[in-house]
């Protein structure tokens, strides 16, 4: 005899799960309840996992938590870790900062780059590394174009641009050293 597929769910528990799915606002909790219902319909954990985009282990954990604590077992736990205090402050400041021209702040570049945004945030009292700035920008849906310091094309056509870029690179490194002292 083969193994039994699915779990036994009485009508009372099915109704409770259906109510839970109607009330819940978190899509992960909804997916967990749906997974338990599908298992109650006789589907295998592999099928349910494939359908919902999770692993078999996750489906088994949902079923175990539901048996142990009911619909409260399907609720998502509070996130762990340090709260993003600096990042939340930066989310309010960055959009206003990006509306201004970086050259008004003393930067030679015509565009904002992550390190310059990070420096300006430090002046505002928000200590956020440039990788944190990237994360905040991604959360806000803002994409910075990365500048390319090269002049495409033949040398005859772009000799002025190439000389301008060489001058910029020489001056930018001196400004960087001057600003850090």
Query: Quick one: which of 180, 87, 79, 153 has its CA closest to 126?
Result: 87
Average pLDDT over residues 96-125: 88
Q: Is 6 left (phi over 0), alpha (psi -120 to 50) or beta?
A: left
Mean pLDDT of the chain: 84
Residue 90, Cβ neighbours under 10 Å: how many? Answer: 26
pLDDT digits (tens, 9 = 90+) for 67-84: 999 999 999 888 788 887
**Structure token pair of residue 31:** 């997916």
**Cα(96)–Cα(92) distance, rounded to whole angstroms?**
8
How far from the centroid of its chain's Cα atoms is residue 177's Cα?
33
Per-residue confidence (pLDDT) for residue 181, from 0 to 100: 44
Per-residue confidence (pLDDT) for residue 58, from 0 to 100: 95
**Cα(147)–Cα(153) distance, rounded to whole angstroms?**
17
Q: Which helix (H) or strand (E) holds 9?
A: none
Average pLDDT over residues 160-171: 74
Residue with tokens 């295998």: 44
Average pLDDT over residues 166-170: 76
User: Which is more confidently placed, 175 or 16?
Assistant: 16
Residue with tokens 């799960």: 17
| Domain residue ranges of the chain, discontinuous segments joined by + | 11-74, 81-147, 149-181
User: Could you write out the DSSP letters of every residue in 54-85?
Assistant: --HHHHHHHHHHHHHHGGGGGSPPPPPS---H
Per-residue confidence (pLDDT) for residue 38, from 0 to 100: 94
pLDDT digits (tens, 9 = 90+) for 11-48: 999 999 999 999 998 899 999 999 999 999 999 999 99
Give the range with max mean pLDDT: 79-83, 84-88, 175-179: 84-88
The pTM (predicted TM-score) of the whole model is: 0.48
């Amino acid at each position: 005899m083969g193994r039994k597929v699915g779990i036994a769910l009485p009508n009372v528990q099915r109704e409770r799960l259906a109510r839970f799915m109607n009330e819940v606002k978190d899509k992960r909790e909804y997916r967990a309840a749906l997974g338990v219902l599908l298992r109650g319909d006789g589907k295998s954990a592999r099928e349910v996992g494939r359908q919902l985009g999770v692993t078999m282990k996750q489906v088994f954990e949902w079923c175990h938590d539901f048996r142990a604590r009911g619909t409260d077992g399907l609720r998502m736990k509070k996130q762990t870790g340090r709260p993003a205090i600096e990042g939340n402050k930066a989310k309010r400041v960055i959009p206003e900062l990006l509306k201004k021209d970086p050259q008004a702040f003393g930067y030679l570049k015509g565009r904002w780059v992550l390190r310059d945004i990070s420096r300006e945030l430090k002046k505002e009292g928000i200590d956020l590394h440039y990788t944190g700035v990237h994360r905040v920008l991604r959360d806000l849906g803002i994409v910075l174009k990365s500048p390319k310091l090269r002049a495409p094309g033949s040398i005859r056509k772009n000799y002025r641009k190439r000389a301008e870029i060489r001058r910029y690179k020489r001056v930018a490194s001196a400004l960087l050293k001057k600003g850090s002292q």
